[in-house]
Amino acid sequence: MWRWIVRTCEFTARDGTGRIGRLRMEDKEYLLPGAYDTRTIFPALQTRRLDALFPTDNPEFVAKFHTRDGEQPIPIHVHVDDPCGSGDVVITQNWHTMLKQPRDFIRQLLLLKTRLPPDTCWYYPGGILPENAAILVHSGFDLFDFIGVDLKSAQGRFCLPDGDYPESAINEGLCTCSGCQAGDLRDHNRHTLMQELALIRMRIRTGTFREFLEGRIRTRPSYVSILRHLDRTALMEQHTPVTRPTPFIASSGDSIHRPEVKRFAERLLTRYIPPLADVAVLLPCSARKPYSLSQSHHRYTQAIRRRAHELILTSPLGLVPRDIELVYPASQYDVPVTGYWDHEERFQIADTLAKYLIKHPYRRVIAHLDGDALLIAQQAADIAGITLESTCSTHPTESDALRQLGDALSGEKKVKNHLLRGMVSMQFGYDLRVPGLEAKGSYPEVIVKKNRQQIFSVEPSTGMLRPTFEGWAMIESGYRVYIDNFVPQGDILAPGVIEADPVIREGDEVLVIGDKAMATGRAVMSADEMVRSHRGVAVRVRKVKKLDG
């Protein structure tokens, strides 16, 4: 029997492919990601008997036995192309063993994720445990049940986010939940799962889920594999915000592969336009960000006195030119500093620097570095076929070294202020050549004006440039969102978006264009999600301008 159920699914915050939102079914509402007694939400689950026998990858068997009863949740399979719409709840049947096969898991996940609308609710049946909740949410699953933890209870296993222990662990004082107090293992295991999901929701809301995830996945190699496979996918890049208001904490070897790191290096080599300068100075990074505000960098800039383009060598970003030190995550990252760089970090920095120096040749490159950093710069110079000059016979911050640096630059021309053009090139991929711009304010809180009119402002907490309508008039292409024939009252919702520049990611500054109005604002989702979703805020609007006619 086919029943129409009033249902909606709306996502309000994202962190990579993990997201939080709400599923509404009839008059009930469910927080996502969350674990529920799904058989009471979806009566169809009580009658689908074949579920338990379903093989994951046999096309003929799937074609013959795939469930089609028109009820929610809709079974999805790589070999079946059933229509699913926005707001539908979809179920990946028998995926509870898939986590042990990372390659298959990712292959099937990517096929299905690209095929279905982004605002579908993904139900992963039977397999969630406190230890794998983070990697499942990161993979884009929203809805879960208690089958996995109840099975653990039946097997006499005590679950925690770092794995499971013999039942006797309930007496070890590891947890003080109501289940533990009553000696009820099943209650404890369910409680632990719900607590883990609540923590995940909070981490997504505060933009710190990735750091949490990197810690959580260490319990099983297959979870680490899934993270690493996903990091290499276009899906993950598409869902990674361009900026966050929170620090980027690079505390594991996997941080170097984060989409934000790859994106920075890629934009540095493809988008970034350096100032007109024929001398470059390579500098060490500082713990304080932005680097300019550190004591060591204050000394370097005093010695250099703008007679060279300053390039900062750093892990995991590789290379950060001074004029884009505010761009995320350059201004926001925090790494454990040991003075020792491992093989992968060395390779990444040398590779980025070599490619940069080949693309942008300087007449002189001065390495104001010592130790490992100098060796890495030398390696990059060898690849690029250039000769490095060195100005550090002592530690870079010591007066002898600083004097050497100043002397090496005597007679060199001053480099013009390049902050705006550099930042515009990184953020918008656009070459801004407008004369007569004035930068005001105290760095990094900068406002750019032309003829006393504000054109751009720098948002120091996110490292983003915010153009006014006059600023947008100077950036002639890209980062546009096209809407229908209406004047926005508040934020732009996804159904109102007709088209969006495919490069737009969450956090990007965008210009909204319609027949009746224009608006400036910040993208809340990627272009793909704006175009394919039927619910949710697409652009947080800052200013609206009605158009005549």
Nearer to Zn ion, 179 or 241 (CB): 179
Q: For residue 443, give both structure tokens.
A: 């760095």
Which three-class secondary structure state does DSSP give residue 54? coil
Whether the ω angle into residue 284 lies within 30 degrees of 0, i.e. cis, is no
Nearer to Zn ion, 187 or 351 (CB): 187
Nearer to Zn ion, 175 or 437 (CB): 175
Residue of 56, 121, 49 whose CA lies nearest to 84: 121
Is the separation of the CB atoms in 207 and 249 below 8 Å? no
Q: For residue 37, give both structure tokens.
A: 């007694």
Nearer to Zn ion, 149 or 483 (CB): 149
How far apart, in whole angstroms, are the C-alpha atoms of residue 362 and residue 469? 36
Q: How far is the CB of 122 from Zn ion (least distance, A)?
A: 28
Query: Given the rule CB under 5 A, which residues bind Zn ion?
Result: 175, 177, 179-180, 188
| CA distances from residue 222 to 17, 57, 94, 255 in whole angstroms, order as listed | 18, 20, 18, 17
Nearer to Zn ion, 111 or 175 (CB): 175
Q: In 222-340, where do the E strands start and end?
A: 248-249, 279-284, 309-314, 318-321, 333-334
Q: How far is the CB of 150 from Zn ion (least distance, A)?
A: 15
Nearer to Zn ion, 94 or 192 (CB): 192
Is the separation of the CB atoms in 15 and 203 below 8 Å? yes
Q: How far is the CB of 173 from Zn ion (least distance, A)?
A: 10
- H or E element at residue 464: strand 464-467
How far apart, in whole angstroms, are the C-alpha atoms of residue 359 and residue 353? 10
Angle between helices 295-304 and 399-408 (to 10 degrees): 30
Q: How far is the CB of 37 from Zn ion (least distance, A)?
A: 19
Nearer to Zn ion, 197 or 350 (CB): 197
Only one residue has tokens 């060598």, namely 313
Beta partners for 372? Answer: none
Residue of 517, 531, 540 whose CA lies nearest to 462: 540
3-class secondary structure per residue, 282-306: EEECCCCCCHHHCHHHHHHHHHHCC
Q: CB 501: neighbour CB atoms within 10 A?
A: 16
How far apart, in whole angstroms, are the C-alpha atoms of residue 471 and residue 434? 10
Is the separation of the CB atoms in 134 and 216 below 8 Å? yes
At residue 539, φ and ψ (nearest 5 deg) are -135, 125
Nearer to Zn ion, 199 or 513 (CB): 199
Nearer to Zn ion, 177 or 544 (CB): 177
Residue of 102, 201, 193 whose CA lies nearest to 146: 193
Q: How far is the CB of 136 from Zn ion (least distance, A)?
A: 21
Q: How far is the CB of 466 from Zn ion (least distance, A)?
A: 47
Beta partners for 149? Answer: none
Nearer to Zn ion, 169 or 213 (CB): 169
Q: How far is the CB of 155 from Zn ion (least distance, A)?
A: 17
Q: How far is the CB of 165 from Zn ion (least distance, A)?
A: 12
Q: For residue 187, give both structure tokens.
A: 């209650």
Residue of 200, 197, 219, 221 whose CA lies nearest to 211: 200
Nearer to Zn ion, 191 or 210 (CB): 191
